[in-house]
């Protein structure tokens, strides 16, 4: 990956964003819930619907019990006759793709939207359908099982510790190539997918996060992560993951983690990473030169990771 000739990625501003309150069951429909986040994000970013050049949405069909789950939100994200890219992964991966679209010169302003409703079906049972159908799913292995194995290695617990309470929510963030003065900008991104079969990788580390963070550091010119960040906003669903996060990102032990409150009090599937990006941007806005690290994770025991470095201007 290291290529000295590669240009530093163009800075992308986080113009604004909004999220719905995470509740155990949001009785609104998915479009109603998403509309609140989108309208709030446009308002926060001070942009109009017509200022948005493209939309990246994140959703997972089986989680929503709906084929092509993005069609539920096409209208409320303002994607009618616009370029919409639908990514089936955590919202942070969607945000990173929006950064790539802007850096490629394809679009100026991109709206990123993620939604998830854990209330719709037993979430961990659904995750069995994300496991290898030949070797793992027939055993009843789900994301919780793999997280439990990881917790056993890290914390010597017999089962997974306290879990973030999963609910319903949506988040929307507006990213742009035009950087208003004082805006938080994304200066580096990285994402990574680790081995799927839990016995194939060293579950006692988040090596995928190490790679993802390494890519983001290289782009952002972060040389010493131990002192680089005023704040880190990790996507940790279980208490044992914080240690994995700190080790893999090599951030300083004194770097404040999740001053926003983090995920433990409530989060929604697929939405977590995007809310971390928003929290990270808000944490440093108005403090020029300050940096924050935002993190999204998905899959069993952090198989997928995505990192964005946000810097205040």
- Residue entry with tokens 């929510």: 169
Give the residue, chosen from 47, 72, 246, 264, that forms a contact with other proteins under the rule CB under 8 A.
72
The CA–CA distances, whole Å, from 304 to 58, 92, 163, 269, 270 equal 14, 11, 18, 14, 12
Total chain residues near other proteins (CB under 8 A): 113
**Residue 300 touching other proteins (CB under 8 A):** yes
> Cα(146)–Cα(123) distance, rounded to whole angstroms?
15
**Residue 277 touching other proteins (CB under 8 A):** no
Please return the burial class of 239, using the count of CB atoms within 10 Å of its CB with bins 0-12, 13-18 and 19+. Answer: middle
Give the residue, chosen from 211, 276, 291, 295, that forms a contact with other proteins under the rule CB under 8 A.
211
**Residue 299 touching other proteins (CB under 8 A):** yes
Site for other proteins in 94-133 (CB under 8 A): 97, 99-101, 103-106, 117, 119-122, 125-127, 129-133
> Cα(7)–Cα(309) distance, rounded to whole angstroms?
17
**Residue 78 touching other proteins (CB under 8 A):** yes
The interface region with other proteins, picked from 194-202, 220-228, 230-238, 254-262 by CB under 8 A, is 194-202
Please return the burial class of 168, using the count of CB atoms within 10 Å of its CB with bins 0-12, 13-18 and 19+. Answer: buried
User: Closest CB to other proteins among 262 and 302?
Assistant: 302
**Residue 249 touching other proteins (CB under 8 A):** no
Which two tokens mark 74?
């096409």
**Residue 198 touching other proteins (CB under 8 A):** yes
User: Closest CB to other proteins among 62 and 264?
Assistant: 62
- Residue entry with tokens 């616009």: 82
- Least gap, CB of 254 to other proteins (angstroms): 30
**Residue 84 touching other proteins (CB under 8 A):** yes
Task: Give the DSSP letter of residue 129.
Answer: G
Which two tokens mark 103?
């850096």
Spatial CA neighbour of 283 closest among 297, 273, 293: 293
The interface region with other proteins, picked from 212-220, 240-248, 251-259, 286-294 by CB under 8 A, is 212-220
Give the residue, chosen from 186, 283, 304, 309, that forms a contact with other proteins under the rule CB under 8 A.
304
**Residue 162 touching other proteins (CB under 8 A):** no
Task: Give the DSSP letter of residue 257.
Answer: B
**Residue 80 touching other proteins (CB under 8 A):** yes
Buried residues in 95-134 as b, exposed as e (16+ CB within 10 A): bbbbbebbbeeebebbbbbbbbbbebeebeebbbebbeee
**Residue 43 touching other proteins (CB under 8 A):** no
Give the residue, chosen from 35, 251, 284, 297, that forms a contact with other proteins under the rule CB under 8 A.
35
**Residue 191 touching other proteins (CB under 8 A):** yes
């Amino acid at each position: 990956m290291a290529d000295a000739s590669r240009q530093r990625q163009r800075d992308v501003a986080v113009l604004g964003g909004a999220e719905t309150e995470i509740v155990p069951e949001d009785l609104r429909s998915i479009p109603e819930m998403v509309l609140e986040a989108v309208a709030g994000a446009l308002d926060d970013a001070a942009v109009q619907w017509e200022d948005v050049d493209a939309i990246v949405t994140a959703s997972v069909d089986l989680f929503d019990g709906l084929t092509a789950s993005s069609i539920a939100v096409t209208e409320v994200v303002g994607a009618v006759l616009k370029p919409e890219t639908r990514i089936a992964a955590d919202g942070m991966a969607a945000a990173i793709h929006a950064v790539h679209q802007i850096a490629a010169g394809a679009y100026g302003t991109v709206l990123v939207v993620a939604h998830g409703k854990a209330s719709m079906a037993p979430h961990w049972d659904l995750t069995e359908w994300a496991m290898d159908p030949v070797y793992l799913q027939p055993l009843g292995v789900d994301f919780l099982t793999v997280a439990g194995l990881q917790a056993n290695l890290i914390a010597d617990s017999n089962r997974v510790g306290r879990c973030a309470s999963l609910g319903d929510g949506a988040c929307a963030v507006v990213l742009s190539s035009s950087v208003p003065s004082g805006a938080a900008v994304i200066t580096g991104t990285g994402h990574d997918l680790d081995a799927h079969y839990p016995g194939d990788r060293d579950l006692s580390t988040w090596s995928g996060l190490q790679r993802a963070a390494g890519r983001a550091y290289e782009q952002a010119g972060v040389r010493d992560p131990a002192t680089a960040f005023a704040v880190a906003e990790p996507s940790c669903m279980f208490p044992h993951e914080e240690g994995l996060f700190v080790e893999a990102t090599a951030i300083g032990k004194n770097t404040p983690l999740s001053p926003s409150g983090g995920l433990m009090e409530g989060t929604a599937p697929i939405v977590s990473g995007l809310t971390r990006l928003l929290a990270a941007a808000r944490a440093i806005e108005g403090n020029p030169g300050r940096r924050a690290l935002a993190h999204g994770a998905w899959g069993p025991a952090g198989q997928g990771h995505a990192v964005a470095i946000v810097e205040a201007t």
